[in-house]
Structure 1
Amino acid sequence: MAATYESKHGIVSRPPYELYMAFTDMRNFKQMVPEQYKEGVVADFDTINATVQGFSIGVKVHERSPYTKIVLVDYGAPFGFQIVMNFDDPGIPGKTDFHIEVSADLNMMMKMMLGSKIREALDKIVDSMVAISEGRMPEGIDPSMFKDSPFKR
């Protein structure tokens, strides 16, 4: 049975089409991987795979709904999951209501161990996108990771 997790909503200071376009190409995510892990990451337009400490996980784009939603699914992962990134129009010009939904096939023990951590991670991603879009660097993030990033303003 799949566990479902939803992030908070964050108002990102970018229009939906800009945010969507940055997330639609999986190669953009490789640019944000810390240098010490890049060797284990392989990406193309539709997929990204990473191997860290012998553990391999991948995602692929399952659906692209221009400027509103991107659905990612597991691709060579040890368990099934789906990630939905939502780019909603909040009715404020130049802004996006960004939020993430994750459903994962986790056993009861994994749900208990990871449930709150998954939700915290999703909220941190949303908070980071809001901060970056406002010209602030999120806490614990190395600014050099974004020097060539499409997420940079």
Structure 2
Amino acid sequence: MEHDEGPVQRLTEPECWQLLAASPLGRIATHVHDVIDIFPVNYYADGASILFRTAPGSKLVELTINDQIAFETDGYDEWAGWSVIIKGTARALEHQAEIDAADDLPLHPWIPTLKPVYVRITPTHISGIRFERAPEPERS
């Protein structure tokens, strides 16, 4: 961790990737004109990018109009919680070699629908925090 600031600590980039690799579900936020949308996605983190699958529809259309994206995943146990946020660009995989490589990854839809399009998020910024879970301190 980069800073020990009491109950909230900033995570290093390697710590962020470690948590990303261990978590199966995240959310992407898109922004087109004055509309912001958030979509849950299951994903695969390879230590340099995030990959998720989708079907043609609003998510893919929005990413085509504006490839700037935010991605967030989090988790907790009885002692601590954490959150990792990635800001970056998203693009659908188009080259067959990329798609074939993605097909070999352990990334499968959680629901029984076809999701033929792979989307890669390439980070421009990654940050994360870990925080203690404890009762609220006494108010003075």
Check whether TM > 0.5.
Answer: no
TM-score calculated relative to the size of structure 1: 0.24
**Normalized per residue, which structure has more helix?**
1
What is the TM-score of this pair, normalised by structure 2? 0.25
Mark the structure with the bigger radius of gyration.
2
